[in-house]
Structure 1
Amino acid sequence: MRPIAELKNLFDEGLAKNRNIAHALNYDLADNPELSGVEYESCRKFVKICREYGMAVEENFAGIPTAFRAQAVRVENPIGRMAILAEYDALPDLGHGCGHSASGSLSLLTALALHEMAEELKVDVDLIGTPDEELHGAKVAMVNEGVFHDYDFAMMIHMNSNTTFPSVRFLALSTFRVKFFGRPTHASATPWEGRNALNGAILAINALDMLRQQVTTDTRISYYIVNGGKASNVIPDFSEIELVLRHSRQEELDAVVERAMNCIKGAALATGTEYEVETLGYPFSDMVLNEPGIDVIRSVMDDLNVPYQEDDGTMLGSSDIGNVSHVCPAFHPMLATSNQYFPLHTQQMVDMMKSGKAKDIIDTGARIIGHTLLTIMAEPETFKKIKEDFQRNTQTQSM
């Protein structure tokens, strides 16, 4: 195998050769955003490019209509198998306010550059299209299908505003739809004959607000009233709330969920209503960090002169890559797109994805993933440490 410096140079040559394709894809996705779960055209664009490069592609991957898996690199007697993850779903009304157009495009560019130098590699590499991150979390469905048990590590890069993080901590998340059922009656003539479903919902919300005092600072409780009745002069017989619970660790979230369910049960009992709880989407797990792998990413960023914040970023949000990190080592750096801070899921990110600066962002992100993969492949001891750290961390979490 060639020295690592030569491998990185070969990768950079492949990147330069194919960068325009990734740039064009980003602008195409940014101008034609598709929502979670219906990214049909976006998926087809990735698949078309991969097939034009001679990659074998599985569509409808893991039974998900807008997912795919492309074989970027196949070698004889591989020492490992790597997954590069690509997201491409957008946000309602806003478009690519989370930067998935660039994130997915840079993952594609990484795969194309590695494909160009496949004869120099000792690992198999797949590009996996993972749709529906913003809503249901297709990576969780893939985890449940056993997809990532076959990989030695998975990696992608997400956009951020003005700070680059080699790694981030995501919160575990569970989302519920809570329905209260009462008995309708005229609100003025015979209110005593009714059972107010809205009262059940409001009392549950008040109890959840009080619960906030008794949970740790890394807990998040949020909700909204989906249905509060139809008319002010009718005691509502139906009310509905959506509840989102988060915590930095899955086992702690499980305890918060139990306490929240008691709030709901108590509210129904106090108001004489009945209730049902439905789990929405897939629960998202917390992110299992892998320090040996993160050290490689830091070293790569140093070599590429990419400034970053030393400590792990704490994203007070959640992502389905957390579930991946519980079944194989997974890495999710955040890459700065601007010198100015702005929140994600805003017009500023939409505008950034359509700007000329997106080109440099895509190139830099692809180099970070590519150089990280090459370094791990070329350093057997580092590869071993990543696997050992993963086993140690996941065993500790399961105890």
Structure 2
Amino acid sequence: MKSPVRPLPFWSKLVLLVVITAAGLLWTGMAGMQERVVVLRMFLFFGSALIAFITPYLLFPDPAAPLMQLGNAGPSGLIRHLVRRVSVLLVSTLLFIAVICFGDIHAPINELAAKAIYFLHGSLFFSGLLFYSVIRYTRSGKSSQFWKESDKGKKLRSDLGEYFKYPIDPGAIPSFINTVVVGALGMIAVSAGAALYGSFGLIFELIPALILVAMAAVSFSKLSRDLPSNYYASTAFFNEFFGETVAGKEQEGKVEVFQLWWVPRPIKSHVWAMLLQLDRKFPAGRVLLAGHLLIWILSYQRPGDELMITAWLLFSLFHHIIIVISLSDQFSPAWFQRWIGSAAEWIFARIWIQFRWILILAVSMLFNSWIFGHVSYSAQAAVLLFYIGSATVISLVSHFYKNVYS
């Protein structure tokens, strides 16, 4: 059965191509080979965290699941469908890796062999880790349902609520484990590849990437035998998980309108509605706190200023995953947006949502520079301007993408 996921229209592909190419050239167009290698490693390091957190949101809940079930799609059809679900992320990332490796404005034909090896390394690494993550999340539905419905899960929910005063759905435990495993695996693989390069040479840095591809292949062979049951179980679980609300003594604190003093009045209701959904379903604060921790760990290693600036730029861009996630109909359906506001209001609302993280980002950079001596004040200001500019661009592109697909 053919996957019902619609491909991007031509103009969207063209815009994506131009934006990714321009970003890659702006970042590494004037860099030497060694700087490109550092940027690629940093990109893969943070890309590991991206894959770990965003995979379930790309895959589930799948609105096409009823059609796939009606068409009695087999394992091969479901595999093609899952690949289509993550294809935009995969193709965009491979294009960006290609620009990092080959976008050498000064010497485009120098060290082509090394550039090709690093492009192969980056492509295998990201593809292997992404598909390994897809497989883990696809087969997590059955265990998630067990923890959600079993007596063990109910007891765990009760214990956590009583002792830690924090409501946790036990069904989320497998997803949490997947997030930790996938993110840690990718970060360890980047570090191991750099160590192998330092000890044995360029070609040996490919080994961790090949291991990730092999792990994905082995996991796929195990999953393919009962892929339909795992796919539909995961779809059912995430559909229920993202669609439910907590009640009674498990009710979490909600953002109140009076707390949004920093939001302009014309878009305050839009921002409140979106934050209400995002805070209920996506733990953005915990995700970004983990990102700050990783940055500080990296800074403790005393890398150069250029590497730290690159890390802060990547991390500032990583914040805008929240904008991408907000496109889901689970957060803000297109009909709801058209009903209560104009295109301009929703674009500004998505931009303004990102302002709640900018003070934390600025303070973290400032204290980091005081303690470790990295990143000048002018560079910090440039990172914050990049943060605002990238939020604006991503909000614009996201809104038009949302309208095309809704």
Give the structure with the higher percent strand. Answer: 1
Normalised by the length of structure 2, the TM-score is: 0.21
Larger relative helix fraction: 2
Higher relative contact order (CA 8 A, sep 6+): 1
Structure number, greater radius of gyration = 1
Question: Please, what TM-score do these two structures have when normalized by structure 1?
Answer: 0.22
